[in-house]
Structure 1
Amino acid sequence: MPEKKTASSHHYNIAQLRVESWNKLKAESTKLQSSNRGSVDEKDHKQNLEKLLREIEGVESYFAFPGLNRLAALKEMLGRQEHTAMAHRIADITKHLVSESYRGSVDFSDEDESGGELSDMSDSKNGTGKSYFEVLVLDDISAQEESKLRHDLKDLRVPNDQFNYEIVVQRSVQDAMIALLFNYNIQAVVIRYAPPYQSKKITPLIKPFIQNVLKLDLSSMPRTDLGPILGGLIRKFRPELDTYYVTDTSLSNLKDSTLKSFRRIFYRAEDLQELHLTMLRGISERYETPFFSAVKEYSKKPTGIFHAMPISRGNSVFKSRWINDFGNFYGRNMFLAETSSTTGGMDSLLQPTGSLKKAQKMASDAYGSQKTFFVTNGTSTANKIVVQALVKPGDVILIDRDCHKSHHYGLVLAGAYPVYLDSYPIEEYSMYGAVPLQQIKEKLLKLKEAGRLDLVKMLLLTNCTFDGLVYNVEKVMEEILAIKPDMIFLWDEAWFAFAGFTYNYKQRTGMFVAQKLYSKYRSRSYREEYEVHIKGLKKDEVPKLPDPDKVKIRVYSTQSTHKTLSSFRQGSMIHIWDEDFRRKSENTFMEAYMTHTSTSPNYQMLASLDAGRRQVQFEGYELVEKSIEMAMVLRAKINDHPRLNKYFDVLTVSDFIPKKHRESGLSEYYSQKDGWNRMETAWEKDEFVLDPTKITLHIGRTGVDGDTFKNKYLMDKFNIQINKTSRNTVLFMTNIGTTRGSVTYLTNALLKIADELDHEFRSLSVKESKIRQDKIYSLTKDFPPLPDFSYFHHSFQAVPGVPGGNIREAFFLAYNEENYEYIPMKECLPSMEKGRTLVASSFIIPYPPGFPVLVPGQVVSEEIIRFLLALDVSEIHGYREDLGLRIFKDKVLNRQKTATSIGGMANRMNKKVINES
């Protein structure tokens, strides 16, 4: 039977429920305060308050603020009928909770914890501006012991401590896991001795939010093992946290896995002060930003400038009579930190030895890679670095045709032969989905059958896509490695840099899966699983598990830090998890990195990458969860509001992903009737999932195409900026910078647009109304079919009849204007009907969507021409409307055919000689 929906089903997460509960408590206490003593109203409001306080207690027990003592004090005030004082206290707590001022400007004194008002830290002995965090302590202790522990730790604090913290005590492993799931403030975990597993305080209100915790049953495990097991789980789910273990088990009896799971292990006899200092030290080390700090220190030094860059120190700007407004706009610090020097702590990006080297190592730890490299010209450059580093002329790459154009140009530079993979079409919304795993395997098996599997070097896929489609990375890698165990994977995660900081998303990232599979394939249990799998295969059945004796984990991810995290524009990173990196790839990678990286990198950009790393280690989990929450709030608002859903539809899972790729059966994240559907199972099992922070709005019923809607309504009227449109959709994205205010502003703008459309529709004449209805029909029912990639002309095929094309040769052949000609688009179909084969000599990239429909050397199909003719986009890169489509001349193709045949024969002869030798 389906699970019964509860009141909490209409809240996406516990944060929503928590804030709404306190606001209800505030409203109810205000009503009680104004009720007449002894009246029916007073009795009703008092009962409501008692119920709300009981419900809130089941949530607040996982947070240090406001804390159970304050809730107890509120109950006592209610019992004493101190209604006015209680209402004032609830309003005070709610204010600090909603504004989050308690995280930086509030003093937790002993008196406050007993229920008193909170005081501003600026008036306290602790000073101002201290970052606040919470420490989760797991220990089955009494209330008296908890109080003593709390006060003993407080006594150890000194005024010059850099950070301020409170503890939140949980008495079971389940409760500790719930606290880690709910509480964004937790930055350190202390597991003491042998805690029990089962929780005694889970309420029905929180059950919908803790299904992952309830699914994991460790009740049969010995209590002495639960502490180390939880330490391992924390490393998996929230690896950014510092974990500590207090035990009586002797060092000789501690398992290696236990030693690796904790930052430090303490014994009962050791001083509590050591634990306190170690926790602060752990936070301090993560807080460090080596390069950003070096830039700040450099800006403070008095220097004489006798190197390049007149702008350094701002001398050429602030002395100017004509551009001093430029200096005033950006501020003096920007110029004080500008230099071309690579000494004095600033370090060199091309050969780092100091602060940059350390910053990249800290980024590697944060993102879960073996190595991380900073890139200062965006992920376009990062992509070209990786491709050039790993493939050479003649190598074969399986590549998503819809990937970013930088990959296509990277293939031209590297001279690799692309085998293009087609994503499934979503014709109703004029966009493509993602590449089904079955198609990738079919292409790979064709190459194997043709004897070219040894030349295949890389599988290149975009994860997630611009529209939010996310691959099942583990399944893709495992089944591809079963066919080719040394395959290199390049995951273009330009729009997915944030994904490593919350578990649902993390399990579909390249770095997380690389580490997971590396450990899995080296385990005894996997070897046994593999042997059973191989024995169970039918004749000619392709294995789905890789051979543990042959498999190599080689994974690269490129990320646009600036797109979804905090970095200046063009700040990107390359993350590497390659067990053969040092032996096979390090030298070529560094050559490619030198080739594409400026010798004058932007230091401000590098400093922002360093600072962005600090942010995600401390608040990445919180900010990513909040960005998802903002997306869900917006989805619900548009779905539920009658004036908005009259014109707009939020596309959901079933609109983007065919049913056969959704094993979980999840079709939507939210419905007005049932509330929120949990997405954990889908993210664990389905071949594709939809990132909810990518909100695609179908606007067909407005009668306005996507490009016009973007410019005429969103930009011109409300200055709302978006990246992508299609014929009948616009794409909104939430990120870690999205606020409730910005969601409210967008909602208000859509309401005003809906009102304007109402007015416009009412004012149309009969003829105008007919034109508008035809446009609506065109945008909602009459959509052009999306063409698949055709194929490379035989002149540019690596081997005739086998997937793979020589895009580099076709690209450079077009450098000679004698080799190509232009043909008007409207003349293409008649020419093809007469039997002429048209072959593209350039990239043709409609924008939007921004990926090639034609690449050099590709045969032009009728479907592609009809698609281009039906497009109503503002620009098509590589196409000149005044001249037409640029294609190769027939005589060039005939000449190429002969050259290719000779070259192919020579290649086959060389291969034969190599094989015989």
Structure 2
Amino acid sequence: MNILAIMGAHGVFYKDEPLRELGAALEVQGFQLIYPKNSDDLLKLIEHNPRICGVIFDWDAHDSLLLCSAVNELNEHLPLYAFINTHSQMDVSLNEMRMALHFFEYALNAADDIALHIRQYTDDYLDHITPPLTKALFTYVKEGKYTFCTPGHMGGTAFQKSPVGCLFYDFFGANTLKADISISVTELGSLLDHTGPHLEAEEYVARTFGAEQSYMVTNGTSTANKIVGMYAAAAGSTVLIDRNCHKSLTHLLMMSDITPLWLKPTRNALGILGGIPKYEFTRDSIAQKIATTAGAGWPVHAVITNSTYDGLLYNTQYIKETLDVPSIHFDSAWVPYTRFHPIYEGKSGMSGDRVPGKVIYETQSTHKLLAALSQASMIHIKGDYDEQTFNEAYMMHTTTSPNYAIVASIETAAAMLRGNPGKRLINRSVERALHFRREIQRLREESDSWFFDIWQPEKVDQAECWPIQPGEETWHGFTHADRDHMYLDPIKVTILTPGMSELGVMADEGIPAALVAKYLDQRGIVVEKTGPYNLLFLFSIGIDKTRAMSVLRGLTEFKRGYDLNLRVKNMLPDLYAEDPDFYRNMRIQSLAQGIHQLIRKHDLPRLMLQAFDVLPEMKMTPHKAFQHQVRGNVETVDISQLVGRISANMILPYPPGVPLVMPGEMLTEQSRPVLDFLLMLCTIGRHYPGFETDIHGATLTEEGEYQVRVLKL
């Protein structure tokens, strides 16, 4: 962070010589100097190199006010050092005076003094942009105190007493280990008591994300969801829960003795997760659910997944105003950036003002799409709540030995989003995703045969969240969409492979997406989610042009290999290695069409829609089902015998990654499509080695059979 950009008035001796002296003095201070050729060069350097910590320029040699404004748009805190002489015109407005703008006069033998001032201003700049807990942690590490408390490696010293420990130390580095400290370090405050720099960090995060109160969570949004649920729903109460929930919420239901009422979302024939229809949020709909659910009362809390796994965001204001419950929790694990770009306005839990009589919670996975370490998560709250009771729920799930690097990374992720640099960061992420989308469209239009498609409207000219509207629009495939209710996030990019239309019409030939995912994986490209004929890519702030181009190259190379009908051995060597005898003479087109015809035979679009249309029958709450399991009142059966049995576990096929069967639920003849869908997924793996479906809650035996746990009769 010690790079200075210098733009002088070249060829003017009385100006060049003082700047030459200054350059030498700054190098003594530890600065690295770079020399942009002009203003455009300077602005590009600042935009693409955040390590630049200041700009030195000649006030008279440039359109200085315009230059200052342009730099300010990129980073309003970046120090600017203008050199003037006695004849310089100083028509600086109040607006310019609010910038970090400092003036120096050209003079010989003044370099050391000026360099010292620049060092001080640079230190002030770095201090200003560093958030409170991170600053305190940096300071503690620099002080190098001797501690006689945990952790036992003592800032990495213990690792250096062992050969393998030295390997570990050298890999992770000294500061990482020195920053791994004990909660006994009082000057950093307490994560559990919310004191000192930890409290300052929570307030800093809350201001950044538009919350009234924020909590930092060090075990992911899985834990954040449980904390909110443990506080918001007492034992014996009823809770509305999105059926397309994360499995952490199923675990909450297994831990807490509460009764779930399921909010049933839609999905299209491609298997893309849709949102919960508007009607599901009304009093009439809730009353119907209560009437058909044993032991249910009026719900005290609701949990909505926003966005869906595939990137659909709600008009959250409608939900806040319509749902007649005291508190609403938006599980926004996948969208911690919605406050920082205008296209997401009104589409997040913290959007808008308080809702009278309600508390709004939003949980976000800081690590998923922002710059934070794994397990970094946040809880945001807007509305009145009991802080002491909430903190008891918080402490139930929070370790007394938190990893300070994770906590500091949450705060740093928030700091990165503040001000103009943060807005630019998210805007560039959106623009990069739009550029990628247009490139896929271009390649498809230029292809003389087939190419991959993309799930989006026909025109994606500008940055926006595209509405999922009813009527003539068919691109999204949701036949019963509600107007102005759900919107597609542009940075969640779904690539479509040939074989199925958005309305579920199966083509004679197709390329199942699993083949493409395996091909890309062998080239170092990992897909976020693979559906039957779609691939999901997340364009987070860490995605750059190099990564985006590697995906485009991978897709075009797959098309080339597929059109040449290469052998599986050559095109998918890792798959070939799983069963060389089976794949020895097989070519890629034969493999693709074999799986495609299996999918056609089982009529996947119909099976998939029916499987999520009729829910299994809830015989007992997930909590009671888990208590049976703890007592050992379970047995293992083949998955084909699931009808008529009460499931002990959640059964969740991946993809799509949402529960099909909850603990305590029983499949009946009416809900048999759920089993038919699961059996179809199993069939593909039996026919084609390497394509076994990952079904959470089911165990795949060596004989290739899936077994599940059910309650004993």
Match of 2:62 among 113, 122, 126: 113
Change (3 A) 1:844 1:668: closer
TM alignment of 1:227-626, pairs within 5 A: 287-427=129-269, 429-441=270-282, 442-446=284-288, 455-480=298-323, 484=324, 486-513=325-352, 515=353, 517-518=354-355, 551-579=356-384, 581=385, 585-618=386-419, 619-626=421-428
Following the alignment from structure 2 to structure 1, what is the Cα–Cα distance between the partners of residues 653 and 96?
65
Once the two structures are superposed, residues 417-444 of structure 1 have per-residue CA deviations (whole angstroms, 9 ceiling, x without a partner) of 01112211212x2333111121232431
Match of 2:709 among 886, 894, 902: 886
Following the alignment from structure 1 to structure 2, what is the Cα–Cα distance between the partners of residues 152 and 365?
26
* Aligned position for 1:15: none
Change (3 A) 1:703 1:790: closer
Following the alignment from structure 2 to structure 1, what is the Cα–Cα distance between the partners of residues 277 and 44?
44
TM alignment of 1:217-228, pairs within 5 A: none
**Matched letter for residue 276 of structure 2:** V
* Aligned position for 2:438: 636
* Aligned position for 1:724: 529
- Does the aligned pair in 1 maintain the 2:239–2:301 contact within 8 Å? yes
TM-score (norm 1): 0.59
Change (3 A) 1:812 1:286: farther
Following the alignment from structure 2 to structure 1, what is the Cα–Cα distance between the partners of residues 241 and 448?
39
Following the alignment from structure 1 to structure 2, what is the Cα–Cα distance between the partners of residues 760 and 790?
41
* Aligned position for 1:864: 674
Q: C-alpha root-mean-square deviation of aligned residues, in Å?
A: 3.9
SS at match of 1:490: strand
Change (3 A) 1:307 1:475: same
Match of 2:488 among 664, 676, 690: 690
- Does the aligned pair in 1 maintain the 2:567–2:586 contact within 8 Å? no
- Does the aligned pair in 2 maintain the 1:696–1:731 contact within 8 Å? yes
Following the alignment from structure 1 to structure 2, what is the Cα–Cα distance between the partners of residues 153 and 599?
44
Change (3 A) 1:621 1:771: closer
**Matched letter for residue 626 of structure 1:** R
Following the alignment from structure 1 to structure 2, what is the Cα–Cα distance between the partners of residues 767 and 722?
23
1:788 aligns with 2:593: no
Following the alignment from structure 2 to structure 1, what is the Cα–Cα distance between the partners of residues 483 and 566?
45
Following the alignment from structure 2 to structure 1, what is the Cα–Cα distance between the partners of residues 631 and 210?
47
- Does the aligned pair in 2 maintain the 1:372–1:575 contact within 8 Å? yes
Question: Mean Cα displacement is larger for which, 147-156 or 319-328?
Answer: 147-156
Once the two structures are superposed, residues 811-849 of structure 1 have per-residue CA deviations (whole angstroms, 9 ceiling, x without a partner) of 2113344x3333323455xxx5xxxx2322221111222
- Does the aligned pair in 2 maintain the 1:373–1:575 contact within 8 Å? yes
Following the alignment from structure 1 to structure 2, what is the Cα–Cα distance between the partners of residues 359 and 766?
58
Once the two structures are superposed, residues 56-111 of structure 1 have per-residue CA deviations (whole angstroms, 9 ceiling, x without a partner) of xxxxxxxxxx9xxxxxxxxxxxxxxxxxxxxxx99855544444369736434223
SS at match of 2:542: coil
- Does the aligned pair in 2 maintain the 1:132–1:164 contact within 8 Å? no
Match of 1:821 among 635, 657, 667: 635
| 1:572 to partner: Cα distance | 0.4
SS at match of 2:627: helix
Change (3 A) 1:774 1:647: farther
Following the alignment from structure 2 to structure 1, what is the Cα–Cα distance between the partners of residues 600 and 616?
34
Following the alignment from structure 1 to structure 2, what is the Cα–Cα distance between the partners of residues 608 and 703?
44
Once the two structures are superposed, residues 496-545 of structure 1 have per-residue CA deviations (whole angstroms, 9 ceiling, x without a partner) of 101111122142111123x2x54xxxxxxxxxxxxxxxxxxxxxxxxxxx
**Matched letter for residue 521 of structure 2:** M
1:854 aligns with 2:678: no
Following the alignment from structure 1 to structure 2, what is the Cα–Cα distance between the partners of residues 553 and 634?
41
Once the two structures are superposed, residues 171-211 of structure 1 have per-residue CA deviations (whole angstroms, 9 ceiling, x without a partner) of xxxxxxxxxxxxxxxxxxxxxxxxxxxxxxxxxxxxxxxxx
- Does the aligned pair in 1 maintain the 2:235–2:258 contact within 8 Å? yes
Change (3 A) 1:500 1:760: same
Following the alignment from structure 1 to structure 2, what is the Cα–Cα distance between the partners of residues 414 and 568?
29
Once the two structures are superposed, residues 759-800 of structure 1 have per-residue CA deviations (whole angstroms, 9 ceiling, x without a partner) of 22699999985664454456689424221364564742xxxx
- Does the aligned pair in 2 maintain the 1:389–1:592 contact within 8 Å? yes
Q: Which of the two has higher C-alpha Rg? A: 1
Following the alignment from structure 1 to structure 2, what is the Cα–Cα distance between the partners of residues 369 and 151?
31
| 1:880 to partner: Cα distance | 2.4
- Does the aligned pair in 2 maintain the 1:389–1:589 contact within 8 Å? yes
SS at match of 1:313: coil
**Matched letter for residue 886 of structure 1:** R
Change (3 A) 1:599 1:772: closer
* Aligned position for 1:275: none
| 1:399 to partner: Cα distance | 0.8
SS at match of 1:312: coil
TM-score (norm 2): 0.74
| 1:460 to partner: Cα distance | 0.6
- Does the aligned pair in 1 maintain the 2:359–2:383 contact within 8 Å? yes
| 1:707 to partner: Cα distance | 3.4
- Does the aligned pair in 2 maintain the 1:652–1:667 contact within 8 Å? no
- Does the aligned pair in 1 maintain the 2:250–2:650 contact within 8 Å? no
Change (3 A) 1:92 1:431: same
SS at match of 1:111: coil
Change (3 A) 1:475 1:299: same
Following the alignment from structure 2 to structure 1, what is the Cα–Cα distance between the partners of residues 545 and 439?
12
SS at match of 2:215: strand
Change (3 A) 1:340 1:865: same
- Does the aligned pair in 2 maintain the 1:131–1:162 contact within 8 Å? no
SS at match of 2:490: coil
Once the two structures are superposed, residues 574-619 of structure 1 have per-residue CA deviations (whole angstroms, 9 ceiling, x without a partner) of 001122x1xxx32331111111000000011111112111111132
* Aligned position for 2:516: 709
Once the two structures are superposed, residues 524-575 of structure 1 have per-residue CA deviations (whole angstroms, 9 ceiling, x without a partner) of xxxxxxxxxxxxxxxxxxxxxxxxxxx4121001100001111111010100
Following the alignment from structure 2 to structure 1, what is the Cα–Cα distance between the partners of residues 55 and 448?
41
| 1:688 to partner: Cα distance | 0.5
| 1:294 to partner: Cα distance | 1.2
- Does the aligned pair in 2 maintain the 1:132–1:163 contact within 8 Å? no
SS at match of 1:754: helix
Q: Which runs of 5+ in 2 are unaligned?
A: 1-6, 8-34, 69-74, 81-88, 105-113, 460-465, 477-481, 500-508, 572-584, 685-691
SS at match of 1:113: coil
Q: How many residues align?
A: 591
**Matched letter for residue 636 of structure 2:** Y
Following the alignment from structure 1 to structure 2, what is the Cα–Cα distance between the partners of residues 864 and 151?
65
| 1:130 to partner: Cα distance | 11
**Matched letter for residue 555 of structure 1:** I
SS at match of 1:732: strand
- Does the aligned pair in 2 maintain the 1:420–1:789 contact within 8 Å? no
SS at match of 2:262: strand
**Matched letter for residue 862 of structure 1:** R
Following the alignment from structure 1 to structure 2, what is the Cα–Cα distance between the partners of residues 839 and 379?
29
**Matched letter for residue 628 of structure 2:** L
